Amino acid sequence: MKEEQLKELFSRASDLLQQELGGSKPTVAAWGLMNAGKSYLLNMLTDHIQTECFRTRDVRETAELKQFETEQYIFLDTPGLDANQEDDFVAHQGAAKADIVLFVHQPQGELEKIEIDFLRALKTSFGEYAEQNIILILSKMDSEDVAKINAIEKRMLEQCQQELDFLPRCFQISGVRFHNGIQKNQDGLVRASHMQKLKAHLDTLKVDSYAIKVTRQRQALDEMVVEIEKAEQTG
């Protein structure tokens, strides 16, 4: 068992070292629990109004990363977190490729413990870039009244500050309002969706993809060394 574990760890370390650090376009990944609204968000960000690029069906499909490239970004959709081991593995692969992560949370209340745990690991991997390049998305804001949405956002940011010691940007988003606003040519709905604010924020980020990837690779390798040392000491 120890030998198999070490082989797996060395294989993962080798894969990390072989990852390409180049690429002129930043990768933006949507991350979050199942049904948080990740795929719908990416469809709206990539202007897939009439036809879907990212599947939004509630049923589980084969765990895989799906991407769409625009002039400025590569958008990456990931499987829902905390569903099964295979999906979690693929979702983490997606986050590892990302220069920017949109962490999507639907407005049922505060961040769940499992979400905080995922955010903690994500924050660690981004290092000094965490606060700028991890963006919280409070999705489906049209499903609750304004007061409740504001209260949930406030609580989410409190949790990030108190439990994770970082304060990311948070955007309240309604993909439905944006979709309907575009379809019906109603600028008011488009503005009320806050989608344009998110797009504008992404455009203002000065993303150094190479530096971010180097930081995240170094952090991942450090963690791998610790795992290898633990494996060698057991058994």
Give pLDDT tens digits along the chain (235 positions).
Answer: 456 654 554 555 455 455 555 566 888 999 888 889 999 999 999 999 988 888 886 555 546 778 899 988 999 998 777 666 766 676 667 677 888 999 999 998 999 999 999 999 899 888 888 999 999 999 999 999 999 999 999 999 999 999 999 999 999 999 999 999 999 999 999 999 999 999 999 988 876 665 666 676 666 666 656 666 666 666 5
At residue 129, the pLDDT reads: 87
- Using CA atoms, how far apart are residues 193 and 139, in angstroms rounded to an integer? 10
Nearest 10 degrees: CA dihedral of 24, 28, 29, 30?
Answer: -170
Sheet strand arrangement including 66-69: 66-69, 74-77, 27-32, 100-105, 134-138, 170-172
Report the predicted TM-score, pTM, of the whole model to 2 decimal places: 0.79
Q: Residue 20, CB half-sphere, CA atoms under 13 Å: how many?
A: 5
Determine which helix (DSSP H) or strand (DSSP E) holds 30, and give its type and residue range: strand 27-32
The pLDDT value given to residue 229: 66
User: How many Å apart are CA 73 and CA 43, to the nearest integer?
Assistant: 14
Query: How far, in Å, CA of 231 to CA of 20, rounded?
Result: 28
Q: Which H helix or E strand runs over 104? A: strand 100-105
Residue 219 contacts residue 125 (beta carbons within 8 Å): yes
Give the pLDDT of residue 228: 64
- d(Cα 82, Cα 114) in Å, to the nearest integer? 8
CATH code for residues 27-220: 3.40.50.300
| CA gap 143, 35 in Å, rounded | 14
